[in-house]
Amino acid sequence: VLEAAVVGMPDEKCGEAVRLIVVRKDPSLGEEELRAHCRQHLTGYKQPRRIEFRDSLPKTAVGKILRRELR
């Protein structure tokens, strides 16, 4: 993983769910590998419901990730 961001997304059941946005360093990295890593290191409610792959993340002039644009 080169870069990653986590944002909330609307969810009917819980109100809000976790969405993970990833910029891959290795194109062969798959969603199932990321899910396995999250299952191993995160408790259930912190695990992402949705994983999305992108080529880049939106950033400010100083390099911070613009989370509001990811929602």
Reported confidence tier of residue 14, pLDDT bands at 50, 70, 90: confident
Q: What CA–CA distance (Å, rounded) separates 16 from 6?
A: 12
β pairing state of 50-54 and 15-23: parallel
The percent of residues above 90 in pLDDT, for the chain, comes to: 93
Residue 71 pLDDT level (bands cut at 50, 70, 90): confident
- Give the CA count within 13 Å in the CB-facing half-sphere of 46: 7
Q: Is pTM, for the whole model, over 0.85?
A: yes
CATH number for 52: 3.30.300.30
pLDDT over 70, % of the chain: 100
pLDDT tens-digit series, residues 39-52: 999 999 999 999 99
How many domains does the chain divide into?
1
| Structural domain that includes position 27 | 3-70
